[in-house]
Structure 1
Amino acid sequence: MGSDFAVGESAYSTDQITAWLEHIRLPTSYSEYIENPAGFPKTFESLRALMRCQISRFPYENLSVHYSPTHLVDIDPHNLYEKLMGPERIGRRGRGGYCMELSIFFHHMLRGLGFQVYMTAVRNRGRKDGVPGGEYLGFTHINNIIHLPSGKRFSVDVGFGGDGPTSPLSLDEQGRAVQNLGRQEVRLIHDNIPKQKLKEPKLWIYQYRNAPENDWNSFYSFAELEFFQHDFEVLNWWTSAKTLHRWTVLVVRFLRDGEDVQYSRDPDLPLDNDVKIVGKVMLVDTVVKVNLGGKTSTVHSFDSEEGRLHALKVYFGISLTQEETQSIRGWDKALD
């Protein structure tokens, strides 16, 4: 199916892609491709390594909704690069983003490496007490679909936060359970959602179960339909203005094997083996929680803006500018 793809350019230069490859701390077996991004292997193993390095280096966060003058999100690829990688003029401060930021950024990195990839929009289900249920709502999420030279197709979602997959999910082996964190399993099935009037095309449905003996439940659905930057500009306006967890301050960072719960810009990790995701650290309003593949526990709490800014730096490596920190004043999620 690779011949179906038109040649597309990345929004990022070779130098920018090289800087990203250095930043995500790839296993040493990929080091030779940092200076030769176009030669990067187009295999499942290499795609999985890139995905896991990406989700453990760039947190899922909605801070721009709370800590910015506009309280909106900018998804222009060039502005995303400066936000996530950090402005070179001040020594790369670096941030994370929400789903559209992270996935559009990752999309252009994959294109720069020569992967055949396109973006599609996703319908999430509503939640109650964190558990998805009920109707599939409008398009408020984003996903990347990759076609490898082998002919295999994969869904690679790097922006679903703590509930996201930690491995590419096959579109050719629907229903195959893949181990996620701890005993949790995830999978894609190809089926209809209840609100569909037309039974074709069927949709891909992302499901999870927290243990093999549990029932499957569904998070979201998507079709193999290409969406473009202009489509996501429309969707982003609604999502960042009306949803995007505006009722909470949320940051999630996946942990690689060997990483400490507290953030280190240059962790002392072995880089000559497979990248393994073993847990996640989460800031939710006034607490920091950790899940190492089992039960979630609170490791830190605070009751002031100063305390939250300190937690962002210690656990996620995020330092906000003075303008950003002042922007939350008068906002309903401000702590003081």
Structure 2
Amino acid sequence: MSEFPFSGDKLDLDAYLGRIGLGRAGGPDPGTLRMIHRAHLAAFPFENLEILLGRPVLLDIKALQEKLVDRRRGGYCFEHNLLLAAVLERLGFAVWGLAARVSRDDGGVAPVTHMALGVHAGGQDWLCDVGFGGDGLLDPLPLRPAGPVPQDGRSFAVETRRHGVRVLRTLRPEGWSDLYAIGPERRLPVDYAVMNHYTSTHAGSPFVSRLLVQRTEEGVRRSLVGRALKVTRSDGSREQRDVGGGELREVLRSQFLIELDDADAETLVRVCSVVT
């Protein structure tokens, strides 16, 4: 297997660090891992705009750099975590891919379509995930039974279940609930190409039927699902309102740091009036 299965050798590391607001990065230790994890989340939004605009979601490192770093856009789990994996490889971390089954509110079984990362640092393995959106981790979490671990007003835990499955859980007002179940197998980029095809094209995927935009930073989490804009702060306060088509472009810019050109903005407003 290549020394850089996630193409870290092809990454423009300086451009990435500049994009997330870091002049430099330290060695492969837990402090550096936590710093990059937080900075990535604050800089890059979670979003599915390319799908709604009728364009393919490309996962090669050149395309990821061009979209997220150069064009200052965001993406969803495969884009975020594949880019982060390349960064961590380049910095000397031991990193491997994980795949997870996201829990459904209705109790049904979802396909395995979520990507996360395992990373070794400081003598232990960590769960890293900058691509889950508004309910996800702010910091890396020990990849072993642990919890509750507080993170910026929320609590998370990892629980081990049958057949080597590990479940990421979060504490909500009504009690603990599962976010996703991680299988024991280590994954490679080719596996995510198959998952990405389903997620970006299948009629049953939530990413093809409505607008999903989220951004996580310390103290505040923002989400735009369909027309509903929600801002939740770590002190428990919350704001929510509907976003009209005429203000969508400005909301994407001011709340999620997404700049669209005139053509894409017009297309997105038209598509969202149909699918949301």
Distance across 1 between alignment mates of 2:255 and 2:129: 23
Task: Give the C-alpha shift of residue 190 in structure 1.
Answer: 0.8
Distance 1:237 1:45, change over 3 A: same
Work out whether residues 136 and 220 of structure 1, in 8 Å CA contact, stay in contact via their aligned partners in 2: no
Identical aligned pairs, as a percentage?
A: 25
- TM value normalised by structure 1: 0.74
Moved more, 77-86 or 321-330: 321-330
Matched, 1:281 2:222: yes
1:69 equivalent in alignment to 2:39: no
Give RMSD over aligned pairs: 2.5
Count how many residue pairs are aligned between Structure 1 and Structure 2: 273
- Distance in 2 (CA, whole Å) between partners of 1:14 and 1:230 is 17
> Structure 1, residues 59-111: CA drift from partner, whole Å, max 9, x if none?
11111121x233x422222111111012xxxxxx3111011111111111111
Residue 291 of structure 1 is matched in structure 2 by 232
2:145 corresponds to 1:145: no
**Shift of the alpha carbon at 1:21?**
1.2
Q: Comparing 243-252 with 226-235, which one deviates more in the overlay?
A: 243-252
Counterparts in 2 of 1:332 and 1:321: CA distance versus 1, 3 Å = closer
CA contact (8 A) 2:99 2:116 kept: yes
Q: Tell me the TM-score normalized by structure 2.
A: 0.89
Gaps of 5+ in 2: none
Aligned to 1:19: 15
d(CA) in 2 for partners of 1:335, 1:56:
28
Give the secondary-structure state (helix, strand or coil) at the position aligned to 1:160. Answer: coil
Write the distance in 1 (CA, Å) between the matches of 2:260 and 2:275: 16
Could you report, residue by residue, the CA deviation over 1:289-333 in whole angstroms, capped at 9, with x for unpaired residues?
2111213212x64322x3101111121221123443354476364
8 Å Cα contact 2:226-2:272 kept in structure 1: no
The structure with the largest helix share of the pair is 2
* Corresponding position: 1:317 with 2:257: yes
Instruction: Within 5 Å, give how 1:180-191 maps onto structure 2.
Output: 180-182=151-153, 184-191=154-161
Distance apart, 1:56 and its partner CA: 0.8
Contact preservation (8 Å) 1:120, 1:143: yes
Structure 1 match to 2:182: 222
Alignment partner, residue 197 of structure 2: 237
Asked if the contact 1:178/1:187 (under 8 Å) is kept, the reply is yes
Residue aligning to 2:77: 99
Q: Partners of 1:235 and 1:9 in 2: how far apart? A: 18
Instruction: Identify the residue that residue 264 of structure 1 maps to in structure 2.
Output: none
* Aligned pairs (5 A) from 1:81-96: 81-86=65-70, 93-96=71-74
1:197: which partner in 2?
Answer: none
C-alpha distance 127-330 of structure 1, shift in aligned 2 (>3 A): same
Q: Rg bigger for which structure?
A: 1
Question: In structure 2, how many angstroms separate the alpha carbons of the residues matched to 1:190 and 1:138?
Answer: 20
Is the partner of 2:184 in helix, strand or coil? coil
Alignment check: 8 A CA contact 2:40 2:130 kept:
yes
In 2, Cα distance between the equivalents of 1:315 and 1:332? 18
